[in-house]
Amino acid sequence: EVQLVESGGGLVQPGGSLRLSCAASGFTFSNYWMHWVRQAPGKGLVWVSFVNSDGSSTKYADSVKGRFTISRDNAKNTLYLQMNSLSAEDTAVYYCVRSREGFDYWGQGTVVTVSS
């Protein structure tokens, strides 16, 4: 069974940093592209970032470019999102998502709240 389990969310002050992790199991992690997608309270889905299967290629939404860094450790079957210079606009549920044909598996999400 495919499982994606996010962790690392929490309350952080504006300007602070947080690192999200996503533990993958039930599939060959190193064969798949991975993404982070977020959803602010009461709002829609927003794509955040992508990493290819070996970590050599990454892409970012304009809203997080230069502040967020996506990475992966295929030996540990884990995806990461390093988030710096956080602002209230980054408050959201962050989902770890696998993709091949569409975003086919989603984690349950981890909540990030940016507030003083």
Partner 1 sequence: QSALTQPRSVSGSPGQSVTISCTGTSSDVGGYDYVSWYQQYPGKAPKLMIHDVSKRPSGVPDRFSGSKSGNTASLTISGLQAEDEADYYCCSYAGSAWVFGGGTKVTVL
Residue ranges in contact with partner 1 by CB under 8 A: 35, 37, 44-47, 50, 59-63, 95, 101-104, 106-109
Q: What is the phi/psi pair of residue 31, to 5°?
A: -95, -5
Kindly tell me which of 13 and 108 has the beta carbon lying closer to partner 1.
108
Kindly tell me which of 18 and 97 has the beta carbon lying closer to partner 1.
97
Smallest distance from partner 1 to CB 7, Å:
15
Kindly tell me which of 75 and 101 has the beta carbon lying closer to partner 1.
101
| Cβ atoms within 10 Å, residue 17 | 12
Kindly tell me which of 17 and 57 has the beta carbon lying closer to partner 1.
57
Smallest distance from partner 1 to CB 11, Å:
20
Torsion sign over Cα 42, 62, 71, 19: negative
Q: How far apart are CA 62 and CA 90, in angstroms?
A: 13
Q: How far apart are CA 114 and CA 86, in angstroms?
A: 7
Smallest distance from partner 1 to CB 10, Å:
19
Smallest distance from partner 1 to CB 75, Å:
26
Q: How far apart are CA 28 and CA 7, in angstroms?
A: 20
